[in-house]
Amino acid sequence: MTHEGSNRPPAQISGARGGLDGIIAGHTSLSTVGVSGVGLTYLGYAIEDLAEKATFEEVAFLLLFGHLPNDSELSKFRVRLISQRSIPEPLCKTLEMIPAAAHPMDVLRTAVSMLGTLEPEKGFEDAVRVAERLIACMPAVLTYWVRFHRDGTRLSSWSRGDSIAEQFLWDLRDRSPSELETQAMNVSLILYAEHEWNASTFTARVIASTLSDFYSAITGGIGALRGPLHGGANEAAMELIDRMSDSAMAERELLAMLARKEKVMGFGHRVYKGCDPRSDVIKPWAQKLCRATGNETLFAISETIEHVMRREKGMFPNVDFYSASLYRSLEIPTALFTPIFVLSRLTGWSAHILEQRADNRLIRPLAEYTGPAPRAWVSLEERD
Ligand code: ACO
């Protein structure tokens, strides 16, 4: 439909099937996703190398500052993060008031919003401080809320664990994690850190593009990540695997689901067409941990689901699928799977907010109008 006198350019639907499918909406120097022959890289570094050789803190620094830290930069960064783990008292009180039955994603969303009132961003030059503060304290926020509602503990010492991976596992389970457990957690945090213009990052960038504050952009990102088509898929995948008692049942149930045209969470991807490189990295870690913790059946069921999806639909697991068995082997409650994604993706979102602000233009696309033609006003008395 066109309006006489409209100065809008002719409308075009972006992407054949909507959803901005295949549309380049902007540029980034932070990561490559699905670029043929390149794979997934963060600022040029292959995800496989980062997962094998880096710590999550090095990757966080890389994303925030654009280069890998040298020894001195890394130790200063680590010290800054450790010194900013503690939660202000009013936020502790807020966490205690949030119901135990709340979804932990809602807890994180609320906590970021609350922190924004307690420690607001003081101009854009304050952005990196806010980013570091969020990366440093959100693991503590999550474990504080969990432990308070689980066993009445008010966590107050934040010195346990030299890394975010170690601290999170330690505070959550109240025991020092093994080297293998810390390494697996570290790899998982690295894999979830950044992924170009995905739905939650896009949300954060749209908010940043209005020149809104850092906390608002992060809060929006958390909201977008929560859904099962995005970050929530790791929880949904676990719930699916949990319904299966063995591989034979998994085969039967999967075939029935596919016959009913149901989606299997943890499979498929908007951008990747042949495989998700993050899944190839996380799967061997999931296998190692499942073996070490007596969860072989869980892993066998997961592999059966993968085989059926490949055979019947030609579909591959995305990063969320094997993250589920990995987290289960770490004895992490299912409801915390997507919140862990947040603890990691805070780095990527932060880097994108900084990148958006550095070369900002309001993100405001068009929509093709499909509603009724212009019509006369009908008064309340005259309506049917
Ligand atoms: N299980 C079964 N069928 C699927 C799946 C799946 N997981 N994913 C896509 N399909 C099918 C669809 O039913 C559809 O079939 P049709 O053409 O016969 O109707 C076709 O493949 C295309 O699916 P769309 O949903 O249109 O593809 P889109 O590119 O929009 O979807 C998405 C990408 C949302 C990731 C999709 O694959 C999906 O829903 N997967 C499950 C959720 C999931 O794992 N999300 C995590 C993504 S990774 C991340 O966010 C970290």
Residue 36 pLDDT grade (very low, low, confident, very high; cuts 50, 70, 90): confident
**Substitution candidate for ligand 1 out of 197, 226, 229 with most atoms within 8 A of CB:** 229
**Substitution candidate for ligand 1 out of 33, 239, 267 with most atoms within 8 A of CB:** 267
In tens, the pLDDT along 236-256 reads 999 999 999 999 999 999 999
Give the containing element (helix H, strand E) for 235: helix 233-242
Average pLDDT, the chain: 95
In tens, the pLDDT along 319-364 reads 999 999 999 999 999 999 999 999 999 999 999 999 999 999 999 9
Residue 321 CA to ligand 1 centre (angstroms)? 13
Q: What is the mean pLDDT of residues 161-168?
A: 97
What is the position in ligand 1's atom list of the atom closest to the CA of 262? 2
Of all protein residues, whose CA lies closest to atom 25 belonging to ligand 1? 270
Residue range(s) of every CATH 1.10.230.10 domain in the chain = 233-329
pTM of the complete model beyond 0.85: yes
In tens, the pLDDT along 280-312 reads 999 999 999 999 999 999 999 999 999 999 999
Catalytic residues: 230, 269, 320
pLDDT of residue 16: 59
Residue 266 CA to ligand 1 centre (angstroms)? 9
What is the position in ligand 1's atom list of the atom closest to the CA of 321? 44
- Pocket (CB within 6 angstroms of ligand 1): 19, 229-231, 233, 263-270, 313, 315, 318-320
**Substitution candidate for ligand 1 out of 203, 239, 263 with most atoms within 8 A of CB:** 263
Of all protein residues, whose CA lies closest to atom 37 belonging to ligand 1? 268
What contacts 117, CB < 8 A, 6 or more positions away?
Answer: none
Residue range(s) of every CATH 1.10.580.10 domain in the chain = 29-180+195-230+343-358
pLDDT of residue 8: 57
Which of these, 217, 21, 11, lies nearest to 116 by C-alpha position?
217
Coil, strand, or helix at residue 198?
coil
Q: What is the mean pLDDT of residues 51-72?
A: 98
Adjacency order of strands within the sheet including 45-46: 31-35, 39-42, 45-46
Task: Please say if the pLDDT value at position 18 is more than 90.
Answer: no
- What's the CATH class of domain 29-180+195-230+343-358? mainly alpha
pLDDT of residue 10: 54
Task: Please say if the pLDDT value at position 1 is more than 70.
Answer: no
In tens, the pLDDT along 169-228 reads 999 999 999 999 999 999 999 999 999 999 999 999 999 999 999 999 999 999 999 999
Q: What is the mean pLDDT of residues 367-376?
A: 96
295 phi/psi in degrees, rounded to 5 = -105, 35
- What's the CATH class of domain 233-329? mainly alpha
What contacts 69, CB < 8 A, 6 or more positions away?
Answer: 58, 61, 62, 77
Interior/surface letters 203-226, b for 16+ CB within 10 angstroms, e for the rest? bbbbbbbeeebbbbbbbbbbebbb
Task: Please say if the pLDDT value at position 2 is more than 50.
Answer: no
Residue 13 pLDDT grade (very low, low, confident, very high; cuts 50, 70, 90): low
pLDDT of residue 168: 98
Of all protein residues, whose CA lies closest to atom 4 belonging to ligand 1? 263
Residue 285 CA to ligand 1 centre (angstroms)? 25
Give the containing element (helix H, strand E) for 35: strand 31-35
Residue 268 CA to ligand 1 centre (angstroms)? 5
% of residues, the chain, pLDDT over 70? 96
